[in-house]
Structure 1
Amino acid sequence: MRSLAEINEKILQKKATVFTVDEVKAQVAELGIAEVAKKVDVITTGTFEPMESSGAMINLGHTDPPIKIRRAWLDGVPVYSGFGAVDLYLGASSTVETKDGEEPRSRKAAPKILRGGGHVIEDLIAGKAVHLRAEGQVTDCYPRATFETTISRETINQFYLFNPRNLYQNFIVGVNGGDRTLFTYLGPLQPRLANAVYSNPGAISPLLNDPDLQLVGIGTRIFLGGAIGYVAWEGTQHFPIQKRLPNRTPIGPAATLALIGDAKQMDSRWVRGCYFKNYGPSMMLGVGVPFPVLNEEVIARCAVLDKELVAPIVDFSIPRRVRPTFGLVSYAQLKSGRIAIEGKTVRTAPLASMFLSRQVALELKQWIEAGTFTLTEPVSPIPMERSFLPQDRWTEF
């Protein structure tokens, strides 16, 4: 029906018809796939959820005399410094350390302010000053041993997010069949199946509307943290050969993407540090993906509904990599607020913000309608045959 070049020309002329994925689903229900495909040029999707496999690359610029940083902290949060002299990587889930640089030995000794890398990244994006403490390896060309200062996004050279694993195509539902509360990356799971927590926003989630990644690839331009970003590679733990329903959507965790974007242009409204009790820091991140409507199949994929998508219910009370499940549940059931597990009614809650996920899609729609965001042709597809390799072998040293 259309080419990407034709769609971009309409965008630049501010004549493109752009729908959010919610609007497409509603229009399909009213008019059918063929009629909607005739009128829509671009579909926008979005999510706002925890993405702890994220982080920021930072180049400080050289000091005088120069320093070769080998240990460093930003507001007490350790950063990785095994690059060039003043290149640092701040992981979103890196945990604040005590003043002497040692990790707390117990929960009681942990800092009262529960901060981590995600909070520091949020502060830098917001333009706040952040304390830097660094220790160097003294060499002939890098004679300085220590350095202490404050930095902001305006006083450093590069500051960009490079996230190894974002945008899970689907995920699990966490429950706890045990006798005590469990504190997990899904938040607290109450004992005896008292609650269920899910992370993926379901039918509005970007990759569930492009199940075979036909529209997304390396080089795809996206909305990342309130600025323009790009798909850099497949994500870690990318598992596209997950079992799938007849509509091609996976029944559990499947494809993932690695994302990159200039954090100096981002908005802290869409990048927020967070903390999971007795688990650790993470980061809430807004990501939006646009889909060009090249043919009717694009509309058909984006018409998928919550009742047509499922996720596995996983029991975290079994401390193993492979945990027992209570079967599959639809996202329509999850979003109703109650599901049934072995005859028991269980309360459900999402980690993703449904409201802010829709706001991401809406803001991306507005960018495209204003002609400030065009679509890109991927330079290479995302591999769809990756298997998942666990570490089950024990090796003695």
Structure 2
Amino acid sequence: MRTIAEINDKICRGQAVVWTVEEAKAQAAERGVTAAAKLVDVVTTGTFEPMEASGAIINLGHTDPPIKIRECRLDGVLAYAGFGAVDLYLGASQVAEAGRLGDSLEGDELRDRGGGHVIADLIAGKSVQLRASGYVTDCYPRAALETTISRERINQFYLFNPRNLYQNFIVGVNGGDRPLFTYLGPLQPRLGNAVYSNLGELSPLLNDPDLQVIGIGSRIFLGGGVGYIAWEGTQHFPLQKRLPNRTPVGPAATVALIGDAKQMEPRWVRGCYFKSYGPSLMLGVGVPLPILNEAVLAYCAVRDADLVAPVVDFSIPRRVRPTFGLVSYAQLKSGQIAIEGRRVRTAPLASQYLSREVAIALKQKILAGGFELTVPVAPLPADRKFIPQDSWGAEIDVS
């Protein structure tokens, strides 16, 4: 029906028709997919949720005399410094420590703050304390550095996130007899609650289940600024079992994202902390889906009743945990599900309200002519297997 070049031409002329994914589902239900597909050019999706597999690349600029950083902390959070004299990688889930540089701390000495908070502070324009020690060499004679940095006082500052936008995920429950503190938040004992993280029909990758219109190089909304899909994400598993509508029954595809953090907005990038688990980063991500043909909109018309996720028992401390079967997102969003005849209350980890706001913000950027779509330079892999580590030990002969 249309190409991305044709859609971009309409965006530049202010004539593009853009719907949020909720508007698209409503229009498809009212008019039918065929008629609705003739009207719309772009459908915007969005999510706002914790994405702990995120981080930031920071270039400090050289000091005088120069330093080659060996170890560095930003507001007490360890940043990786092993790939350039003054280049750092700050992971969102790295924990802040209360002690001095070089100390090894644990337990109560670890703060309820981490890399995600430091990233959010820098994006908000706040100053961050930097303390670093260096390798003393002939070309890098400085041994230590203590200063403050801000977004304006550093060179490059961009997010590079190895794994975001899970295409579906799990529902966590706890069949044990004590509370569990997990990456989904607290799970109450004896099936006291169920927590799900994916947004179902609002989720970006569930509306393009076979990744037909997005790929490497796709332009996205990232933290309020412009970002791109840089590669497949870690743990990318497109071979997950799928329903007849092509949506996966559990964790499947993921993407790696990149974007200039200096353009991002504090509203869409927030540090967070999970009690007795650790820090993370709440991040707003919006993905525009070009409606190139009727089939693309047909996938966007999927509803929560037709999307499922596995209910996983976290009380079993194994990589492969038992499940209580599959539940639909319609059931999850009703506020309760049934497990072995019991009613279990449910709660989302992602913000449905702010996820809708991301999709709306992206729609407004496109309608204003300031956000064109890109043609992917390569597809995301469709054949990646999931390789666990515990299967390798039996194959290693150490005799």
What's the TM-score bracket when you normalise by the shorter of the two chains?
Answer: over 0.9
Structure 2 equivalent of residue 181 of structure 1? 179
Q: 2:122, 2:128 within 8 Å by CA — same for their partners in 1?
A: yes
Q: Does 2:45 align with 1:49?
A: no
Match of 2:87 in 1: 87
Which whole-Å deviations, capped at 9, do the CAs of 1:56-104 have from their partners, x for residues lacking one?
A: 0000000000000010000000000001100000000000012223343
**2:6 matched residue in structure 1:** 6
Match of 1:341 in 2: 339
Give % identity: 74
Correspondence 1:2-41 to 2 at 5 A? 2-41=2-41
How far apart, CA to CA, are the structure 1 residues paired with 2:176 and 2:113? 29
SS of 2:16's equivalent in the other structure is coil
Q: Where does residue 374 of structure 1 map in the other structure?
A: 372
Task: Give me the whole-angstrom Cα distance separating, in 2, the residues matched to 1:352 and 1:344.
Answer: 25
Matches of 2:50 and 2:12, distance apart in 1: 33
Contact preservation (8 Å) 2:218, 2:229: yes
- The 3 A distance-change label for structure 1 pair 336 and 103 is farther
The whole-number CA distance in structure 1 between the counterparts of 2:137 and 2:27 is 66
Write the distance in 2 (CA, Å) between the matches of 1:86 and 1:109: 28
The alpha-carbon deviation at position 105 of structure 1 amounts to 2.9
Q: How much has 1:396 moved relative to structure 2?
A: 8.8
Counting only pairs closer than 5 Å after superposition, residues 188-227 of structure 1 correspond to structure 2 as 188-227=186-225
> 2:99·2:109 contact (CA, 8 Å) conserved in 1?
no
- SS across alignment from 1:218: coil
Moved over 2 A (4+): 101-106, 108-111, 393-397
The 5-angstrom pairing of residues 72-151 of structure 1 reads 72-101=72-101, 102-106=103-107, 108-111=108-111, 114-151=112-149
What per-residue deviation string (whole Å, max 9, x for no partner) do you get for residues 134-185 of structure 1?
Answer: 0000000000000010000100000000000000000000000000000000
Give the number of aligned pairs. Answer: 394
Shift in Å at residue 110 of structure 1? 3.3
CA offsets per residue over residues 7-58 of structure 1, 9 Å max, x none? Answer: 1000001110000000000111111001101110100000001100000000
In structure 1, the gaps of 5 or more residues are: none
- Does the C-alpha gap of structure 1 residues 141 and 91 become closer, same or farther in structure 2, counting only changes over 3 Å? same
**Structure 1 Cα separation of the partners of residues 353 and 371 of structure 2:** 23
Label 1:396 to 1:116 Cα distance change in 2 as closer, same or farther (>3 A).
farther
Structure 2 equivalent of residue 383 of structure 1: 381
2: CA distance, partners of 1:197 / 1:133: 38
Residues 260-303 of structure 1, C-alpha deviations (whole Å, 9 max, x = no match): 00000000110110000000000000000001111000110000
Question: SS at 1:318's partner residue?
Answer: coil
The whole-number CA distance in structure 2 between the counterparts of 1:4 and 1:263 is 27
* CA distance in structure 1 between the partners assigned to 2:322 and 2:356 by the alignment: 33
The 5 Å alignment of 1:221-260 reads 221-260=219-258
Match of 1:163 among 144, 149, 161: 161
Structure 1 residue matching 2:113: 3-state secondary structure: coil
The whole-number CA distance in structure 2 between the counterparts of 1:218 and 1:110 is 38
Cα distance in structure 2, aligned partners of 1:85 and 1:5: 42
Contact 2:95–2:110 (CA under 8 A) maintained in structure 1 = no
Task: Name the CA distance, whole Å, in 2 between partners of 1:365 and 1:190.
Answer: 39
Residue deviations 1:196-236, cap 9 Å, x none? 00000110000000000001100000000000000000000
Residue of structure 1 aligned with 2:354, choices 339, 353, 356: 356
Distance 1:103 1:190, change over 3 A: farther
What residue in structure 1 maps to residue 64 of structure 2? 64
3-state DSSP of counterpart to 2:168:
coil
**SS in structure 2 of the partner of residue 288 of structure 1:** strand
* Structure 2 residue aligned with 1:274: 272
Task: Kindly indicate whether the alpha-carbon contact (under 8 Å) linking 2:218 and 2:376 is maintained by their aligned counterparts in 1.
Answer: yes
Aligned-partner Cα distance in 2 for 1:279–1:195: 18
SS of residue matched to 1:44: strand
Residue 304 of structure 2 corresponds to which residue in structure 1? 306
Taking structure 2 as the reference length, what is the TM-score of the superposition? 0.98
Secondary structure class of the residue paired with 2:152: coil
Match of 1:97, as an amino acid?
E
Q: Secondary structure at the match of 1:96?
A: strand
> For 1:115, what is the secondary structure of its paired residue?
strand
Distance 2:289 2:275 in 1: 37
* Cα displacement string for residues 318-366 of structure 1 (whole angstroms, at most 9, x for unaligned residues): 0000000000000000000000000000000000000000000000000
Conservation of the 8 A alpha-carbon contact between 2:76 and 2:97: yes
Residues 75/384 of structure 1: CA separation in 2 closer, same or farther (3 Å cut): same
Superposition deviation, residue 3 in structure 1: 1.2
- In structure 1, C-alpha distance between the alignment counterparts of 2:349 and 2:194, rounded to whole Å: 11
Query: Partner letter of residue 26 of structure 2?
Result: A
